[in-house]
Amino acid sequence: MLYAYWFRKDLRVNDNKALSEFISVVRNRFNKKKDKIIFFYIKGKNSFSYYGEKRIKFLYECLNDLYNTLKKFGFDLEIYSGSSGDVIKNLCENSDEISLYANKQYEPYNIKRDKLIYEIIKQKGTFNLFNDTVLSEPGSILKDDKSPYIVYTPFKKKFLNLLNINSFEEYNSDLNQIREFSKYQYKSVYIEKINILSENFNLKNNLNFKGGRKEGFKLLNHFLNTRVFDYHLLRDFPSINGTSLISPHLHFGTISVRECFNLALKQTKNKKALKGVQTWISELIWREFYYQIAFHFPYIINGAFIKRYDNIEWENDKIKFDRWCNGLTGYPIVDAGMRQLVKEGWMHNRVRMITAMFLTKDLLIDWRWGEKFFAEHLIDLDFANNNGGWQWSASTGCDSQPYFRIFNPYLQSVKFDPDGVYIKKYVPELKNLDGKNIHKPDLELIKSEKYPTPIIDHFKMKEIAILKFKSVSN
């Protein structure tokens, strides 16, 4: 028997559901005379063409950290390059029997892939999947009529009622329990492997995110002991470091969602932190909500959640799109956001909403173009959250912003970056403007500062956008 553990979006050995099950099975059943064990990760070959280099760098840091952790218990981490189907086929072909363990993934394309893996494996063994990524496994929280929730607030209410949260059981995945079997590791010589240490990244050292469990845990702990106190007050201001910054870690699973909830719940005992923690927990529940949406409505992968909005005639002007991508729209808050994204692989949530709304409602460009551009640049790219955020902003999603409530980018800027601190950081051409002028520089100033004139007139475009939505609404 080959006991195989497949790390996917759970790049940690602590509090890991599938790993705890794997350890328990290996501990009880491993036969030193004939069994082998392996831990592996598969990196799809085309990942670089779609996902940004910054994200891959972060991933490699996580893998490196995981590699070193496994080493402490005597185990290797094999990092394969190729399609999952080919890798698993190879493992099956080279073993009499296989018992494969992993945590479930809920993205429509991953569900499809896992069905294929089941088919490949079924003659040779078992593919054992567990829920680890979210607290509420998609399908476990349903309306009374057994249909999925499509509105956030009642979902949240049921989530809090059902789980009756005090604390969540964390899983014992201590590798010491199976350390003695590290002498019996399986090595594949037939599959292409990646040496993550030899990979070179042509990136300037200006990234704010570092992969790995220690980093993720440090961020989480620090946030919950400091910034969470004012989270409800400051989370919308992009110039203030007011949020946790844990999204890339939650995505790759260097920290578990249970750890996030449990540490947050502990802080609710501190009265001064209560409001901030409650607001933060609500954000984690948005993640749970979007995961179950992606699971129940897989067509959102390339279509609007509200299907009639697939009929909107987007203008899809490529020149305007390029200006948006490059932060040259002449709307300072939008340009600051887009430049932050491209430079750092990150954008503050408030500005994600502003830039996404601007692309769809002011430039009339299909939200899928924006979703893809974010996917190419975000370190924390997460299908369910990205799609959810885009469809919310485009008003095509479930429980999204109504199409007639279009953000005014100037007012958003005045409200959430009143002194232009965020704008000045990413749009240095405007650094000499005062707080009044920076949100909407006048034309003379634009000329002297070499900053583009506004790409469109927001008020005109707002009317056109509303008409476009209205025309497909009946």
Ligand X SMILES: Cc1cc2nc3c(=O)[nH]c(=O)nc-3n(C[C@H](O)[C@H](O)[C@H](O)COP(=O)(O)OP(=O)(O)OC[C@H]3O[C@@H](n4cnc5c(N)ncnc54)[C@H](O)[C@@H]3O)c2cc1C
Site for ligand X in 318-357 (CB under 6 A): 349, 352-353, 356
Q: Does 37 bind ligand X (CB under 6 A)?
A: no
225 counts as catalytic? no
Under 8 Å between Cβ of 30 and 126: no
**Rounded Cα gap, residues 202 and 189, in angstroms:** 30
Ramachandran bin of 442, using left for φ above 0, alpha for ψ from -120 to 50, beta for the remaining angles: beta
* 3-state percent helix, strand, coil for the chain, nearest multiple of 5: 55, 5, 40
What is the side-by-side strand order in the sheet with 98-103?
78-81, 36-43, 2-7, 98-103, 125-130
Q: Which is nearer to ligand X, 368 or 458 (CB)?
A: 368
Q: Does 390 bind ligand X (CB under 6 A)?
A: yes
**Rounded Cα gap, residues 249 and 255, in angstroms:** 6
Q: Which is nearer to ligand X, 240 or 445 (CB)?
A: 240
Q: Does 386 bind ligand X (CB under 6 A)?
A: yes
349 counts as catalytic? yes
Report residue 182 CA to chain centroid gap: 33
Q: Which is nearer to ligand X, 11 or 284 (CB)?
A: 284
Size of the site for ligand X (CB under 6 A): 28
367 counts as catalytic? yes
Interface residue with ligand X among 69, 247, 292, 396 (CB under 6 A) is 247
324 counts as catalytic? no
Interface residue with ligand X among 4, 246, 263, 273 (CB under 6 A) is 246
Taking the complex as a whole, the smallest distance from the CB of residue 399 to ligand X amounts, in Å, to 11
283 counts as catalytic? yes
For 250, what's the count of Cα atoms within 13 Å in the CB-facing half-sphere?
24
**By three-state DSSP, how is residue 103 classified?**
strand
Question: Considering 286, 346, 369, 392, which one is annotated as catalytic?
Answer: 286
Q: Which is nearer to ligand X, 95 or 256 (CB)?
A: 256
Question: Considering 6, 280, 346, 367, which one is annotated as catalytic?
Answer: 367
Q: Does 238 bind ligand X (CB under 6 A)?
A: no
Q: Does 106 bind ligand X (CB under 6 A)?
A: no
Q: What angle do CA 239, 393, 426 make, to 5 degrees?
A: 30
**Rounded Cα gap, residues 4 and 127, in angstroms:** 10
**Rounded Cα gap, residues 20 and 28, in angstroms:** 12
Structure tokens given for 463? 């009317």
Q: Does 286 bind ligand X (CB under 6 A)?
A: yes
- Binding span for ligand X by CB under 6 A among 66-74, 89-97, 281-289, 417-425: 281-289
- Binding span for ligand X by CB under 6 A among 12-20, 187-195, 240-248, 417-425: 240-248
Cβ-Cβ contacts under 8 Å for 27 (sequence gap 6 or more): 177, 178
Q: Does 243 bind ligand X (CB under 6 A)?
A: yes
Instruction: Give catalytic residues, as residue numbers.
Output: 283, 286, 314, 349, 367, 390
Q: Which residues bind ligand X (CB under 6 A)?
A: 235, 243-247, 250-251, 283-284, 286-287, 290, 349, 352-353, 356, 374, 378, 380-382, 385-386, 388-390, 393
